[in-house]
Copies of this chain bind each other. A is one copy, B any other.
Amino acid sequence: MDLTFNFTSIPHIFFGARKLNELYNIIPKFGRNVLYVIGGKSLKESGKWDEIVNMMEKKSINISIISVYGEPTPTLIDETVVMYKNKNIDLVVGIGGGSVTDAGKAISAMMPKEDSIMNYLEGVGNKIHDGKKIPYIAIPTTSGTGSEATKNAVISEVGSEGFKKSLRHDNLVPNYAIIDPELVLSSPSSVSAACGMDAFTQLIEAYVSPRASPITNVLAFTGMRYVKDAIIPVCSTHALDIGVRSAMAYGSLMSGIALANAGLGIIHGLASSLGGLFEIPHGVVCGTLLAESTKMNITQLQKIGDAGKKGLLKYAMVGALLVGKEGYENVDVSYYCSILIDTLEKWTNDLNIDRLGKYGITIKEVDKIVEKARMKNNPVQLKRENIMEIVQNRI
């Protein structure tokens, strides 16, 4: 038995309806100058933003606000840092989807630095971030990336030389994460679907990762347990059901903790490439590749004999979970692997997850996409032709 692992600290978590109120108790611990990083209009339309601003006034907290539209770019981070670095900001609070929570995380980390974030992005710059930052509170308004619990911020530059790379350090895990499912209630079904597929992708990729530990396994599994029954209802009949929204938010949170400690696989390896080259929502990329990549991984694991058994058993365990046969270790592996693929294909259809073609991606571009893709912690080594097939099948 080889039991050895590292586990990054996780944020102090407040989870549940109306836990947003904890924010007002936490802020004074850090100071009176808060930089809010927020998204577009949905937070404002929900009335929650007015509630927060009123409370800040009542508590005599000085607030600055930066709005983030779309995925954060190096320019956005650098300009924000220059603008606020001499303003004695005590705390950064990010409230929004994955882009916003990542932007807030990156801003809090770059505030003590004198140079551009470009220098610190993995695979882009040559410097290593030292983990010094301004304290950061993450408050997600979607249930997808789990960024509220991770140690990296994804920064994108879209274009033919584009990238989607991480600023990463153990100390960048947010100090606090407040997950209040009421903030997700107004999320439209297309967003909930893409985010939900992203969360499930993260859960399953972390679960089958060669870097998985017993802790990440149980956290990923409990996350999948909640997502499996909620992902369809949350996009249809139960969008306003706080219990169902809670289940998705819980799955998303678990996905963040699991991926931060077990890593991800080929789907996120491709998402990094696709997200740099094209304007396409991250959740859609994950959602559209989920069933196809899982099928390819299973097919390739089946070809390598004993070396593939552990990975196949894990996929089968997930398949069994999805049809309510949780915990049966003696599963019929190939039967439940098929069940898994079928279920993921059904989700993709039922949730109307777009194909890549919808975003102008054609067969011509597959080469370039695969060129820039990385395997990450995939459970099986894929050949270039396998990866091409995944992408081609989702054009």
Residues of A at the B interface (CB closer than 8 Å) are 1-17, 19, 170, 175, 181, 213-215, 217-219, 221-222, 225-226, 243-244, 246-247, 250, 254, 326-329
Contact = CB atoms under 8 A, between A and B. Distances in A.
Contact of A12 (B8, B219, B326): B8
Nearest to A218: B218
A328 B330 CA distance: 12
A10 B9 contact: yes
A328 B324 CA distance: 11
A17 B5 CA distance: 10
A329 B329 contact: no
B250 A214 contact: yes
Copies of the polypeptide in the assembly = 2
Given A3-B16, A16-B3, A219 B226 contact: no
Closest 8 CB pairs of A and B: A327-B327, A4-B16, A1-B243, A7-B13, A218-B218, A3-B246, A9-B12, A218-B222
Given A218-B218, A218-B221, A7 B12 contact: yes
A5 B218 CA distance: 18
A16 B3 CA distance: 6
30 contacts: A1-B243, A1-B244, A1-B246, A3-B15, A3-B16, A3-B181, A3-B247, A4-B15, A4-B17, A4-B19, A4-B246, A5-B15, A6-B13, A7-B13, A8-B12, A9-B12, A9-B13, A9-B175, A10-B10, A15-B213, A214-B225, A214-B226, A217-B222, A218-B218, A218-B219, A218-B222, A326-B327, A327-B327, A327-B328, A327-B329
Contact of A7 (B10, B218, B221, B327): B10
Contacts of A181: 3
Contacts of A12: 6-9, 170
A14 B9 contact: no
